[in-house]
Amino acid sequence: MSKVVALVGRPNVGKSTLFNRLTKTRDALVADFPGLTRDRKYGRAMYNDSEYILIDTGGIDGSEEGIETHMAEQSLLAIDEADLVFFLVDARSGLTSGDYMIADYVRRHQKKTVLVANKIDGLDSDVATAELYALGISAVYPISASHGRGLSSLLDEVLAPV
Ligand code: GDP
Ligand code: MG
- pLDDT tops 70 at residue 153: yes
Q: Which residues pair with 9 in a beta bridge?
A: 88
What's this model's pTM, rounded to 2 decimal places?
0.90
Does ligand 1 lie within 6 Å of residue 118's CB atom? yes
The CA-to-CA distance between both ends of the chain, in Å, stands at: 13
**Beta strands per DSSP E along 2-124:** 3-9, 41-47, 50-56, 84-90, 113-118
pLDDT band at 124 (very low <50, low <70, confident <90, very high): very high
DSSP secondary structure of 86-119: EEEEETTS---HHHHHHHHHHHHTT--EEEEEE-
Considering only CA atoms, which of 142, 161, 43 is closest in space to residue 92?
142
Q: Quote the ligand 2 centre to 90 CA distance (angstroms).
A: 13
**Residue located nearest, by CA, to atom 19 of ligand 1:** 14
Sheet of strand 140-142: strand arrangement: 41-47, 50-56, 3-9, 84-90, 113-118, 140-142
Range of the domain at 32: 3-159
Select from 8, 12, 60 the residue to mutate for testing ligand 1; criterion: most ligand atoms less than 8 Å from CB: 12
Separate counts of helices (H) and strands (E) for the chain: 5, 6
The CATH number given to whatever domain includes residue 57 is 3.40.50.300
Per-residue pLDDT tens over the stretch 54-103: 999 876 666 655 544 666 778 888 999 999 999 999 999 989 888 998 89
ipTM over 0.95: yes
Q: In the chain, what percentage of residues exceed pLDDT 90?
A: 64
Q: How many domains does the chain have?
A: 1
Per-residue pLDDT tens over the stretch 20-57: 999 987 666 665 555 555 567 888 999 999 999 999 98
Considering only CA atoms, which of 162, 145, 159 is closest in space to residue 23?
145
Does ligand 1 lie within 6 Å of residue 4's CB atom? no
Considering only CA atoms, which of 49, 125, 41 is closest in space to residue 91?
125
Q: Enumerate residues 6+ apart whose C-beta is below 8 A from 119.
A: 13, 14, 90, 91, 92, 144, 145, 146
Q: Enumerate residues 6+ apart whose C-beta is below 8 A from 99.
A: 9, 10, 62, 89, 135
Q: Quote the ligand 2 centre to 149 CA distance (angstroms).
A: 19
